[in-house]
Structure 1
Protein backbone atom coordinates (compact mmCIF):
# COMPACT_ATOMS: atom_id res chain seq x y z
CA UNK A 1 0.00 0.00 0.00
CA UNK A 2 1.32 3.43 -0.99
CA UNK A 3 2.63 5.86 1.60
CA UNK A 4 0.15 8.52 2.72
CA UNK A 5 -0.11 11.39 0.24
CA UNK A 6 1.97 9.76 -2.47
CA UNK A 7 -0.99 8.17 -4.26
CA UNK A 8 -2.43 11.68 -4.63
CA UNK A 9 0.85 12.83 -6.18
CA UNK A 10 0.93 9.79 -8.47
CA UNK A 11 -2.64 10.43 -9.65
CA UNK A 12 -2.12 14.17 -10.09
CA UNK A 13 0.87 13.61 -12.38
CA UNK A 14 -1.17 11.17 -14.47
CA UNK A 15 -4.50 12.98 -14.42
CA UNK A 16 -4.63 13.23 -18.21
CA UNK A 17 -3.17 9.78 -18.86
CA UNK A 18 -5.30 7.40 -20.90
CA UNK A 19 -5.27 4.85 -18.08
CA UNK A 20 -6.65 7.33 -15.53
CA UNK A 21 -9.23 8.78 -17.93
CA UNK A 22 -10.46 5.27 -18.79
CA UNK A 23 -10.53 4.35 -15.10
CA UNK A 24 -12.74 7.30 -14.18
CA UNK A 25 -15.04 6.50 -17.11
CA UNK A 26 -15.28 2.88 -15.98
CA UNK A 27 -16.07 3.86 -12.40
CA UNK A 28 -18.75 6.33 -13.48
CA UNK A 29 -20.30 3.63 -15.68
CA UNK A 30 -20.34 1.28 -12.68
CA UNK A 31 -22.33 3.83 -10.68
CA UNK A 32 -24.78 4.22 -13.58
CA UNK A 33 -25.71 0.53 -13.35
CA UNK A 34 -27.20 1.22 -9.91
CA UNK A 35 -29.10 4.20 -11.29
CA UNK A 36 -30.51 1.97 -14.03
CA UNK A 37 -31.54 -0.62 -11.45
CA UNK A 38 -33.46 2.11 -9.69
CA UNK A 39 -35.25 2.93 -12.96
CA UNK A 40 -36.21 -0.73 -13.28
CA UNK A 41 -37.73 -0.87 -9.80
CA UNK A 42 -39.59 2.39 -10.40
CA UNK A 43 -41.09 0.92 -13.59
CA UNK A 44 -42.16 -2.21 -11.70
CA UNK A 45 -43.89 -0.14 -9.02
CA UNK A 46 -45.63 1.87 -11.76
CA UNK A 47 -46.84 -1.38 -13.32
CA UNK A 48 -44.84 -0.82 -16.51
CA UNK A 49 -43.31 -4.30 -16.74
CA UNK A 50 -42.33 -3.90 -20.39
CA UNK A 51 -40.22 -0.86 -19.52
CA UNK A 52 -38.80 -2.72 -16.52
CA UNK A 53 -37.52 -5.51 -18.80
CA UNK A 54 -36.09 -2.95 -21.21
CA UNK A 55 -34.31 -1.32 -18.29
CA UNK A 56 -32.77 -4.65 -17.31
CA UNK A 57 -31.61 -5.10 -20.90
CA UNK A 58 -29.93 -1.71 -20.77
CA UNK A 59 -28.33 -2.58 -17.46
CA UNK A 60 -26.86 -5.79 -18.87
CA UNK A 61 -25.35 -3.84 -21.77
CA UNK A 62 -23.97 -1.24 -19.37
CA UNK A 63 -22.37 -3.94 -17.24
CA UNK A 64 -20.75 -5.45 -20.34
CA UNK A 65 -19.38 -1.99 -21.12
CA UNK A 66 -18.03 -1.73 -17.57
CA UNK A 67 -16.25 -5.07 -17.98
CA UNK A 68 -14.74 -3.99 -21.30
CA UNK A 69 -13.58 -0.69 -19.82
CA UNK A 70 -12.05 -2.53 -16.87
CA UNK A 71 -10.04 -4.71 -19.24
CA UNK A 72 -8.81 -1.64 -21.10
CA UNK A 73 -7.93 0.10 -17.84
CA UNK A 74 -5.92 -2.87 -16.61
CA UNK A 75 -4.07 -3.08 -19.94
CA UNK A 76 -3.20 0.62 -19.74
CA UNK A 77 -2.21 0.43 -16.07
CA UNK A 78 0.04 -2.52 -16.88
CA UNK A 79 2.07 -0.15 -19.07
CA UNK A 80 2.82 1.98 -16.01
CA UNK A 81 5.97 1.29 -14.06
CA UNK A 82 5.13 -1.27 -11.34
CA UNK A 83 4.50 0.50 -8.05
CA UNK A 84 2.32 0.46 -4.96
CA UNK A 85 0.47 3.49 -6.38
CA UNK A 86 -0.58 1.51 -9.45
CA UNK A 87 -1.60 -1.39 -7.23
CA UNK A 88 -3.71 0.85 -4.99
CA UNK A 89 -5.49 2.52 -7.89
CA UNK A 90 -6.16 -0.84 -9.53
CA UNK A 91 -7.79 -1.96 -6.27
CA UNK A 92 -10.19 1.00 -6.43
CA UNK A 93 -11.06 0.28 -10.07
CA UNK A 94 -11.79 -3.36 -9.32
CA UNK A 95 -13.87 -2.47 -6.27
CA UNK A 96 -16.46 -0.61 -8.35
CA UNK A 97 -16.32 -3.32 -11.01
CA UNK A 98 -17.26 -5.96 -8.43
CA UNK A 99 -20.06 -3.69 -7.21
CA UNK A 100 -21.45 -3.55 -10.78
CA UNK A 101 -21.34 -7.36 -10.91
CA UNK A 102 -23.55 -7.54 -7.82
CA UNK A 103 -25.95 -5.05 -9.41
CA UNK A 104 -26.14 -7.25 -12.52
CA UNK A 105 -26.93 -10.26 -10.31
CA UNK A 106 -29.69 -8.20 -8.69
CA UNK A 107 -31.13 -7.44 -12.13
CA UNK A 108 -31.14 -11.15 -12.98
CA UNK A 109 -33.29 -11.85 -9.93
CA UNK A 110 -35.70 -9.12 -11.01
CA UNK A 111 -35.82 -10.54 -14.53
CA UNK A 112 -36.80 -13.98 -13.23
CA UNK A 113 -39.69 -12.48 -11.26
CA UNK A 114 -40.82 -10.41 -14.25
CA UNK A 115 -40.70 -13.24 -16.78
CA UNK A 116 -42.55 -15.61 -14.48
CA UNK A 117 -45.09 -12.85 -13.84
CA UNK A 118 -44.83 -13.35 -10.10
CA UNK A 119 -46.96 -11.15 -7.88
CA UNK A 120 -45.09 -9.19 -5.24
CA UNK A 121 -46.89 -6.74 -2.91
CA UNK A 122 -46.31 -3.11 -3.83
CA UNK A 123 -45.03 -2.28 -0.35
CA UNK A 124 -42.28 -4.87 -0.75
CA UNK A 125 -41.14 -3.30 -4.01
CA UNK A 126 -41.18 0.14 -2.39
CA UNK A 127 -38.93 -1.09 0.41
CA UNK A 128 -36.47 -2.41 -2.18
CA UNK A 129 -36.60 0.89 -4.05
CA UNK A 130 -35.83 2.81 -0.85
CA UNK A 131 -32.83 0.56 -0.28
CA UNK A 132 -31.58 1.05 -3.84
CA UNK A 133 -31.99 4.82 -3.43
CA UNK A 134 -29.41 4.68 -0.66
CA UNK A 135 -27.11 2.41 -2.67
CA UNK A 136 -27.19 5.03 -5.45
CA UNK A 137 -26.17 7.69 -2.91
CA UNK A 138 -23.52 5.37 -1.48
CA UNK A 139 -21.90 4.66 -4.86
CA UNK A 140 -21.96 8.34 -5.81
CA UNK A 141 -20.27 9.27 -2.53
CA UNK A 142 -17.61 6.63 -3.17
CA UNK A 143 -17.01 7.93 -6.68
CA UNK A 144 -16.62 11.48 -5.34
CA UNK A 145 -14.12 10.23 -2.75
CA UNK A 146 -12.04 8.64 -5.52
CA UNK A 147 -12.28 11.74 -7.70
CA UNK A 148 -11.14 13.93 -4.80
CA UNK A 149 -7.99 11.86 -4.25
CA UNK A 150 -6.10 14.41 -6.35
CA UNK A 151 -7.38 17.28 -4.19
CA UNK A 152 -7.98 17.81 -0.47
CA UNK A 153 -7.79 14.84 1.89
CA UNK A 154 -10.49 16.47 4.04
CA UNK A 155 -12.96 16.27 1.15
CA UNK A 156 -12.05 12.65 0.49
CA UNK A 157 -12.66 11.75 4.13
CA UNK A 158 -15.98 13.59 4.12
CA UNK A 159 -17.23 11.33 1.33
CA UNK A 160 -15.77 8.22 2.95
CA UNK A 161 -17.67 9.04 6.15
CA UNK A 162 -20.83 9.53 4.06
CA UNK A 163 -20.38 6.05 2.58
CA UNK A 164 -20.14 4.65 6.12
CA UNK A 165 -23.27 6.50 7.20
CA UNK A 166 -25.25 5.23 4.22
CA UNK A 167 -24.04 1.68 4.69
CA UNK A 168 -25.37 1.71 8.25
CA UNK A 169 -28.77 2.84 6.95
CA UNK A 170 -28.68 0.14 4.27
CA UNK A 171 -27.90 -2.49 6.92
CA UNK A 172 -30.99 -1.41 8.86
CA UNK A 173 -33.09 -1.54 5.70
CA UNK A 174 -31.72 -5.01 4.93
CA UNK A 175 -32.85 -6.30 8.33
CA UNK A 176 -36.27 -4.68 7.97
CA UNK A 177 -36.86 -6.17 4.52
CA UNK A 178 -35.65 -9.60 5.63
CA UNK A 179 -38.07 -9.50 8.58
CA UNK A 180 -40.89 -8.62 6.18
CA UNK A 181 -40.01 -11.49 3.86
CA UNK A 182 -39.69 -14.05 6.64
CA UNK A 183 -42.98 -12.94 8.19
CA UNK A 184 -44.92 -12.91 4.92
CA UNK A 185 -47.66 -15.49 4.47
CA UNK A 186 -48.68 -14.44 0.96
CA UNK A 187 -45.35 -14.86 -0.84
CA UNK A 188 -44.87 -18.23 -2.49
CA UNK A 189 -41.65 -20.13 -1.65
CA UNK A 190 -40.06 -19.57 -5.07
CA UNK A 191 -40.82 -15.86 -5.00
CA UNK A 192 -39.57 -15.58 -1.43
CA UNK A 193 -36.30 -17.30 -2.35
CA UNK A 194 -35.76 -15.00 -5.33
CA UNK A 195 -36.52 -11.88 -3.30
CA UNK A 196 -34.06 -13.01 -0.64
CA UNK A 197 -31.41 -13.55 -3.33
CA UNK A 198 -32.13 -10.07 -4.67
CA UNK A 199 -31.69 -8.63 -1.19
CA UNK A 200 -28.37 -10.43 -0.71
CA UNK A 201 -27.02 -9.15 -4.02
CA UNK A 202 -27.97 -5.59 -3.09
CA UNK A 203 -26.34 -5.98 0.32
CA UNK A 204 -23.20 -7.29 -1.39
CA UNK A 205 -23.13 -4.22 -3.65
CA UNK A 206 -23.35 -1.93 -0.61
CA UNK A 207 -20.70 -3.93 1.26
CA UNK A 208 -18.34 -3.67 -1.71
CA UNK A 209 -18.77 0.11 -1.71
CA UNK A 210 -18.08 0.26 2.01
CA UNK A 211 -15.03 -1.98 1.66
CA UNK A 212 -13.60 0.19 -1.09
CA UNK A 213 -14.24 3.33 0.97
CA UNK A 214 -12.45 1.73 3.91
CA UNK A 215 -9.47 1.05 1.63
CA UNK A 216 -9.40 4.76 0.80
CA UNK A 217 -9.53 5.59 4.52
CA UNK A 218 -6.45 3.43 5.08
CA UNK A 219 -4.67 5.11 2.16
CA UNK A 220 -5.24 8.47 3.80
CA UNK A 221 -3.62 7.18 6.96
Structure 2
Protein backbone atom coordinates (compact mmCIF):
# COMPACT_ATOMS: atom_id res chain seq x y z
CA UNK A 1 0.00 0.00 0.00
CA UNK A 2 1.15 3.56 -0.71
CA UNK A 3 2.31 5.83 2.14
CA UNK A 4 -0.69 8.21 1.77
CA UNK A 5 -3.07 5.26 2.11
CA UNK A 6 -1.30 3.95 5.22
CA UNK A 7 -1.28 7.43 6.72
CA UNK A 8 -5.03 7.64 6.09
CA UNK A 9 -5.54 4.27 7.79
CA UNK A 10 -3.46 5.44 10.76
CA UNK A 11 -5.47 8.64 11.10
CA UNK A 12 -8.73 6.68 10.83
CA UNK A 13 -7.57 4.22 13.49
CA UNK A 14 -6.80 7.04 15.92
CA UNK A 15 -10.09 8.84 15.29
CA UNK A 16 -13.53 8.41 16.84
CA UNK A 17 -15.16 7.81 13.45
CA UNK A 18 -16.57 4.48 12.28
CA UNK A 19 -17.00 1.04 13.86
CA UNK A 20 -14.51 -0.14 16.47
CA UNK A 21 -13.68 -3.27 14.47
CA UNK A 22 -12.70 -1.32 11.36
CA UNK A 23 -10.56 1.15 13.31
CA UNK A 24 -8.85 -1.74 15.11
CA UNK A 25 -8.07 -3.42 11.77
CA UNK A 26 -6.79 -0.13 10.35
CA UNK A 27 -4.54 0.28 13.38
CA UNK A 28 -3.11 -3.21 12.92
CA UNK A 29 -2.28 -2.49 9.26
CA UNK A 30 -0.70 0.87 10.14
CA UNK A 31 1.38 -0.80 12.84
CA UNK A 32 2.54 -3.56 10.50
CA UNK A 33 3.65 -0.93 7.98
CA UNK A 34 5.55 1.04 10.64
CA UNK A 35 3.14 4.01 10.82
CA UNK A 36 2.10 3.19 14.39
CA UNK A 37 4.47 1.83 17.04
CA UNK A 38 3.92 -1.67 18.33
CA UNK A 39 2.78 -1.73 21.93
CA UNK A 40 0.04 0.15 23.75
CA UNK A 41 -1.84 2.77 21.73
CA UNK A 42 -4.80 4.92 22.81
CA UNK A 43 -7.84 4.23 20.63
CA UNK A 44 -11.54 5.03 20.81
CA UNK A 45 -13.36 1.81 21.76
CA UNK A 46 -16.86 1.26 23.10
CA UNK A 47 -17.43 4.98 23.46
CA UNK A 48 -14.26 5.87 25.39
CA UNK A 49 -10.50 6.23 24.97
CA UNK A 50 -8.70 3.03 25.91
CA UNK A 51 -5.15 1.72 25.68
CA UNK A 52 -5.02 -1.33 23.45
CA UNK A 53 -2.13 -3.55 22.42
CA UNK A 54 -1.05 -3.34 18.77
CA UNK A 55 1.54 -5.73 17.40
CA UNK A 56 2.91 -4.71 14.02
CA UNK A 57 5.13 -7.68 13.22
CA UNK A 58 4.50 -9.94 10.25
CA UNK A 59 4.16 -13.62 11.12
CA UNK A 60 5.85 -16.11 8.79
CA UNK A 61 6.62 -19.82 8.52
CA UNK A 62 10.14 -19.63 7.09
CA UNK A 63 12.81 -21.60 9.02
CA UNK A 64 15.54 -19.64 10.79
CA UNK A 65 19.11 -20.02 9.62
CA UNK A 66 18.41 -21.48 6.18
CA UNK A 67 17.80 -25.03 5.08
CA UNK A 68 19.52 -28.12 6.45
CA UNK A 69 21.08 -30.89 4.41
CA UNK A 70 18.86 -33.89 3.77
CA UNK A 71 20.77 -35.97 6.35
CA UNK A 72 20.44 -33.28 9.02
CA UNK A 73 16.75 -32.81 8.24
CA UNK A 74 16.23 -36.52 8.84
CA UNK A 75 18.13 -36.45 12.14
CA UNK A 76 16.24 -33.33 13.24
CA UNK A 77 12.89 -34.98 12.47
CA UNK A 78 13.88 -37.98 14.57
CA UNK A 79 15.12 -35.71 17.35
CA UNK A 80 11.96 -33.60 17.47
CA UNK A 81 9.81 -36.74 17.37
CA UNK A 82 11.75 -38.02 20.40
CA UNK A 83 11.06 -34.70 22.13
CA UNK A 84 7.35 -35.07 21.39
CA UNK A 85 7.58 -38.55 22.91
CA UNK A 86 9.31 -36.98 25.95
CA UNK A 87 12.42 -39.10 25.36
CA UNK A 88 15.15 -36.57 26.05
CA UNK A 89 17.99 -39.07 25.90
CA UNK A 90 17.00 -40.31 22.43
CA UNK A 91 16.49 -36.74 21.24
CA UNK A 92 19.96 -35.79 22.48
CA UNK A 93 21.41 -38.73 20.52
CA UNK A 94 19.91 -37.62 17.19
CA UNK A 95 20.57 -33.91 17.75
CA UNK A 96 24.23 -34.47 18.61
CA UNK A 97 24.62 -36.45 15.38
CA UNK A 98 23.05 -33.56 13.47
CA UNK A 99 25.31 -31.03 15.20
CA UNK A 100 28.39 -32.97 14.15
CA UNK A 101 27.35 -32.25 10.55
CA UNK A 102 26.14 -28.66 11.09
CA UNK A 103 27.69 -27.39 14.35
CA UNK A 104 26.58 -23.78 13.81
CA UNK A 105 22.88 -24.57 13.36
CA UNK A 106 21.25 -22.73 16.26
CA UNK A 107 17.91 -24.51 15.94
CA UNK A 108 19.64 -27.85 16.50
CA UNK A 109 21.35 -26.53 19.62
CA UNK A 110 18.12 -25.05 20.94
CA UNK A 111 16.38 -28.40 20.60
CA UNK A 112 19.33 -29.96 22.39
CA UNK A 113 18.71 -27.56 25.28
CA UNK A 114 15.12 -28.82 25.42
CA UNK A 115 16.45 -32.39 25.49
CA UNK A 116 18.65 -31.46 28.47
CA UNK A 117 15.63 -29.97 30.26
CA UNK A 118 13.64 -33.14 29.60
CA UNK A 119 16.38 -35.11 31.36
CA UNK A 120 16.37 -32.74 34.38
CA UNK A 121 19.82 -31.45 33.38
CA UNK A 122 18.95 -27.87 34.27
CA UNK A 123 22.53 -26.62 34.52
CA UNK A 124 23.38 -27.95 31.05
CA UNK A 125 20.23 -26.39 29.62
CA UNK A 126 20.89 -22.96 31.16
CA UNK A 127 24.54 -22.98 30.08
CA UNK A 128 23.62 -23.83 26.49
CA UNK A 129 20.83 -21.22 26.35
CA UNK A 130 23.25 -18.51 27.49
CA UNK A 131 25.81 -19.64 24.91
CA UNK A 132 23.19 -19.44 22.17
CA UNK A 133 21.99 -16.03 23.36
CA UNK A 134 25.56 -14.71 23.24
CA UNK A 135 25.91 -16.10 19.73
CA UNK A 136 22.62 -14.72 18.41
CA UNK A 137 20.53 -12.58 20.78
CA UNK A 138 17.84 -12.23 18.11
CA UNK A 139 16.97 -15.93 17.95
CA UNK A 140 13.44 -15.70 19.39
CA UNK A 141 13.14 -19.18 20.86
CA UNK A 142 16.24 -18.65 23.00
CA UNK A 143 15.12 -15.19 24.13
CA UNK A 144 11.72 -16.43 25.25
CA UNK A 145 13.26 -19.46 26.96
CA UNK A 146 15.65 -17.25 28.94
CA UNK A 147 12.81 -14.88 29.83
CA UNK A 148 10.81 -17.87 31.04
CA UNK A 149 13.67 -18.93 33.30
CA UNK A 150 13.81 -15.43 34.78
CA UNK A 151 10.04 -15.40 35.35
CA UNK A 152 10.31 -18.75 37.12
CA UNK A 153 12.90 -17.28 39.51
CA UNK A 154 10.85 -14.05 39.98
CA UNK A 155 13.49 -11.93 38.19
CA UNK A 156 10.78 -10.00 36.40
CA UNK A 157 12.87 -6.94 35.50
CA UNK A 158 15.39 -9.17 33.76
CA UNK A 159 12.63 -10.97 31.87
CA UNK A 160 11.11 -7.64 30.81
CA UNK A 161 14.47 -6.47 29.46
CA UNK A 162 14.52 -9.50 27.17
CA UNK A 163 10.87 -9.43 26.13
CA UNK A 164 10.17 -5.72 25.68
CA UNK A 165 12.43 -5.09 22.64
CA UNK A 166 10.84 -8.04 20.83
CA UNK A 167 7.52 -6.16 20.63
CA UNK A 168 9.14 -3.82 18.06
CA UNK A 169 10.43 -6.65 15.83
CA UNK A 170 9.13 -6.47 12.28
CA UNK A 171 8.65 -10.24 11.80
CA UNK A 172 8.65 -13.54 13.67
CA UNK A 173 8.05 -17.22 12.96
CA UNK A 174 4.55 -18.29 14.00
CA UNK A 175 5.82 -20.91 16.46
CA UNK A 176 8.21 -18.40 18.01
CA UNK A 177 5.35 -15.91 18.24
CA UNK A 178 3.24 -18.44 20.14
CA UNK A 179 6.07 -18.98 22.62
CA UNK A 180 6.50 -15.20 22.88
CA UNK A 181 2.79 -14.64 23.60
CA UNK A 182 2.72 -17.39 26.21
CA UNK A 183 5.75 -15.91 27.96
CA UNK A 184 4.16 -12.46 27.84
CA UNK A 185 1.04 -13.89 29.48
CA UNK A 186 3.11 -15.42 32.27
CA UNK A 187 5.10 -12.22 32.80
CA UNK A 188 1.96 -10.09 33.02
CA UNK A 189 0.33 -12.53 35.43
CA UNK A 190 3.45 -12.46 37.59
CA UNK A 191 3.10 -8.65 37.64
CA UNK A 192 -0.63 -9.06 38.46
CA UNK A 193 -1.61 -7.34 35.20
CA UNK A 194 -4.43 -9.67 34.31
CA UNK A 195 -6.09 -7.43 31.70
CA UNK A 196 -2.83 -7.15 29.78
CA UNK A 197 -2.38 -10.92 29.99
CA UNK A 198 -5.84 -11.29 28.43
CA UNK A 199 -4.79 -8.92 25.62
CA UNK A 200 -1.80 -11.12 24.83
CA UNK A 201 -4.02 -14.20 24.83
CA UNK A 202 -6.32 -12.49 22.33
CA UNK A 203 -3.44 -11.58 20.03
CA UNK A 204 -2.07 -15.12 20.25
CA UNK A 205 -5.50 -16.53 19.36
CA UNK A 206 -5.67 -14.31 16.25
CA UNK A 207 -2.37 -15.70 14.96
CA UNK A 208 -2.72 -19.38 15.89
CA UNK A 209 -6.35 -20.06 16.84
CA UNK A 210 -5.88 -23.84 17.06
CA UNK A 211 -2.88 -23.84 19.40
CA UNK A 212 -3.48 -26.51 22.08
CA UNK A 213 -2.30 -24.28 24.95
CA UNK A 214 -4.89 -21.55 24.35
CA UNK A 215 -7.61 -23.39 26.26
CA UNK A 216 -5.33 -23.85 29.27
CA UNK A 217 -4.49 -20.14 29.51
CA UNK A 218 -8.10 -19.14 28.92
CA UNK A 219 -9.05 -21.34 31.85
CA UNK A 220 -6.34 -19.79 34.03
CA UNK A 221 -7.46 -16.26 33.17
CA UNK A 222 -11.13 -17.11 33.70
CA UNK A 223 -10.45 -18.46 37.19
CA UNK A 224 -8.61 -16.04 39.53
CA UNK A 225 -7.90 -18.81 42.03
CA UNK A 226 -5.93 -20.63 39.34
CA UNK A 227 -3.83 -17.53 38.73
CA UNK A 228 -2.66 -17.57 42.33
CA UNK A 229 -1.88 -21.26 42.02
CA UNK A 230 -0.06 -20.75 38.73
CA UNK A 231 2.20 -18.08 40.25
CA UNK A 232 3.05 -19.97 43.43
CA UNK A 233 6.72 -20.99 43.79
Please give the TM-score of this superposition, normalised by the length of structure 1: 0.30
Taking CA–CA contacts closer than 8 Å with sequence separation of 6 or more, which of the two structures ends up with the larger relative contact order?
1
Larger strand proportion of the pair: 2
Larger Rg: 1 or 2?
2
Larger helix proportion of the pair: 1
Please give the TM-score of this superposition, normalised by the length of structure 2: 0.29
